[in-house]
A = this chain, B = another copy of it.
Amino acid sequence: MYTVTSLKAELHERGWRLTPQRETILQIFQNLPTGEHLSAEDLHVLLQQDGDPISLSTIYRNLKMMSRMGILRELELAEGHKHYEINQPAPYHHHHLICVRCNKTTEFKNDSILKMGAKTAQKEGYHLLDCQLTIHAICPSCQRSILPM
Majority secondary structure of chain A interface residues (helix, strand, loop or mixed)? mixed
CA gap between A50 and B124 in the complex, in Å: 37
Q: How many copies does the complex hold?
A: 2
Q: How far is the CB of A119 from chain B (nearest CB, A)?
A: 9
A1 within 8 A of B: no
Q: Smallest CB–CB gap between A24 and chain B, Å?
A: 21
Interface-centre pick from A14, A110, A124, A148 (highest chain B CB count, 10 A):
A124
A75 to B27, CA, bound (A): 31
Task: State which residues 12-68 of A face B: CB under 8 Å.
Answer: 14-15, 65, 67-68
In the complex the two chains form, is A129's CB within 8 Å of B121's CB? no
Given that A68-B100, A143-B127, A149-B65 are known contacts, is A135 also in contact with B110, CB under 8 Å in the complex?
no
